[in-house]
Amino acid sequence: MTSDKSSASLMDKIYKNQRHFYDLTRKHYLLGRDHLIRHLSAPKGSTVLELGCGTGRNLIEAAKAYPSCQFFGVDISSQMLKTAEENIHKAELSHRIHLAQGDATSFDPFEKFGIDTFDRVFLSYCVSMIPPWEEALRNGAKLLAKGGQLSVVDFGQQERLPGLFRWFLIKWLSKFHVAPRAKLQDVLFDLSKEHNAKLRFLPLYRGYACYAELDASFYTRFMEKPEQLELLSAGNEGEREIRKAG
């Protein structure tokens, strides 16, 4: 509890003033967010959760893209949630987007929203800000409904960008308590095995950002054919080896 309070206090301190111009500035360098929204492929009438929803920008765009779905957002910062509530009200989407304050690593969705799992869960540029980021991903995967999908977009390793640019970016991001996660693909790979899900991992913009999906629909599709699960595991392993080699 003490850790949750300290994290919330830090985020409130960082965003108390930034929240007023956050979306105006972040659109220039939080790349790949719309790519994630397009690939949510949320089924009609499904439930979608964003962990670390910030100002509500992604939830609003996703709600417009998937008009039959219900959306839920959680953020540890009460300051950011104030802005999110204002933005959602202005967009006239308060009846479809529901917010709650909570820690992405441990919040109880039933306590906050009255439901246990979600058809889609996504994290957009918050993995690089959450110190126990692996726990946040595990929690996100745990909150998936049967056949659901976990999506992540965040800073990549800038592997195809000039070294000087990478050095400057990482140093600049550190001023905002942001750190690209070098082991993100490995952690997601382990989660894919735990949840019998298909992992897709894609560097974007020459590695400036990365996008990933854990698609658990593969599990439900192959439930009655155990031999297919072996093929799925082999496919994930092969993809990881290709990424390491390339």
CATH number, domain containing residue 197: 3.40.50.150
Whole-angstrom Cα distance, residue 34 to residue 136?
A: 21
| pLDDT in the model for residue 11 | 53
Taking each helix axis from N to C terminus, what angle separates 184-194 and 226-245, rounded to the nearest 10 degrees? 170
Query: Cβ distance 116 to 108 under 8 Å?
Result: no
Whole-angstrom Cα distance, residue 204 to residue 200?
A: 13
| pLDDT in the model for residue 20 | 42
The tens digit of pLDDT for each residue in 38-69 reads: 999 999 999 999 999 999 999 999 999 999 99
| Domain tally, the chain | 1
| pLDDT in the model for residue 240 | 55
Whole-angstrom Cα distance, residue 13 to residue 166?
A: 27
| pLDDT in the model for residue 60 | 97
| pLDDT in the model for residue 230 | 57
The tens digit of pLDDT for each residue in 210-241 reads: 999 999 986 555 444 445 555 555 555 555 55
| pLDDT in the model for residue 129 | 93
The mean pLDDT of 190-205, rounded to a whole number, is 95
| pLDDT in the model for residue 224 | 44
- Return the number of other C-beta atoms located less than 10 Å from residue 107's C-beta: 20
In this structure, are strands 70-75 and 47-51 parallel, antiparallel, or unpaired? parallel
The tens digit of pLDDT for each residue in 15-35 reads: 444 544 445 445 556 899 999
Query: What global pTM score does this model have?
Result: 0.82
Asked if the model's pLDDT at residue 191 lies above 50, the reply is yes
The rounded mean pLDDT for the chain is 85
Per the structure, the complete domain to which residue 102 belongs is given by 2-245
| pLDDT in the model for residue 176 | 85
The tens digit of pLDDT for each residue in 158-171 reads: 999 999 999 999 99
| pLDDT in the model for residue 245 | 47
| pLDDT in the model for residue 183 | 97
Asked if the model's pLDDT at residue 135 lies above 60, the reply is yes
